[in-house]
Amino acid sequence: MYWEYNGTGWQVHLEQPDPSFDPAELTENVRKLDKEKNNIEWLGRSPFNDTDGFATPPDVGPISLEEMAKRLQEDDSLSLCLETEFPTRDDGLVLFEEAYDIGVPESQIEILDTGVIYQETAAGNCDFGEVFTTDGRIAGLGLNLVEDPGTFILYNVSLTMPTDVYETAPEAFGTLVEAILAPLDEETMTELNRRVSIDGEDAADVARDYLKANGII
């Protein structure tokens, strides 16, 4: 599943609401569909998966999604901070609720802007906060990522381009994309994000450092 903004709201890219949980199969399915429908090529696939997840404050040790569900059920004073669309998205809160047979009541949900959730969770004002799993603010603010055995949709990264552009130099494009994406595991991507979101470095400078370090430029 891939979400895109159509100008008025979020929709599922290519109208495929039930994606594979195998990263290779998912990427191949999207690659075929986007080329067929839109003449778009998908190249490569990153090792990192920047999916949705939850985090706990620094003073709460790492726990699993199963344990998180149990705590929310047993203690109705615990809060779950989410961004606006997450409670209603097909790849959002419903996946957690269905996986652990839990219905989180509205009284436990607080809707906040995405960036605010990280700060409020770090301050202990959110017992659980929605995050992106390779966001640099998780490590930068000392948050603990809730362990997910594979509940949320896969969001690996590929590079896309029009087919007519790709066909001008397919081998060169393939080699370049592989060189860029292959080293990008979750630890590396999180550290690059941390340099931008926590250290305040310019994203272009961080990207340039990464390309130089990997001999791409």
Encoded tokens for 10: 């979020």
pLDDT at 15: 65
Q: pLDDT tens digit string along 124-180?
A: 999 999 999 999 999 999 999 999 999 998 999 999 999 999 999 999 999 999 999
89: left (phi over 0), alpha (psi -120 to 50) or beta: beta
Tell me how far apart the terminal alpha carbons of the chain are, to the nearest angstrom: 33
Average pLDDT across the chain, whole number = 92
Looking at the chain, the whole-number percentage of residues with pLDDT higher than 90 is 85
CA 54 centroid distance within chain: 11
Instruction: Give the residue among 152, 145, 176, 157 at the shortest CA–CA distance from 47.
Output: 157
- Higher pLDDT pick, 102 / 115: 102
pLDDT at 91: 86
Antiparallel, parallel or unpaired: β 3-5 and 52-56: unpaired
pLDDT at 193: 96
pLDDT at 12: 60
Question: Per mean pLDDT, which range of 13-22, 66-75, 97-106, 126-135 is the poorest?
Answer: 13-22
Q: Report angle CA 209, 214, 190 to the nearest 5 degrees.
A: 60
pLDDT at 58: 96
The CA distance from 152 to 50, in Å, is 10
- Higher pLDDT pick, 215 / 1: 215
pLDDT at 6: 45
What 3-state DSSP class applies to 76?
Answer: coil
The CA distance from 123 to 32, in Å, is 45
Instruction: Give the residue among 35, 1, 4 at the shortest CA–CA distance from 20.
Output: 1
Residue type, 46: S
CB of 162 closer than 8 Å to CB of 198: no
198, burial (CB in 10 Å: exposed 0-12, middle 13-18, buried 19+): middle
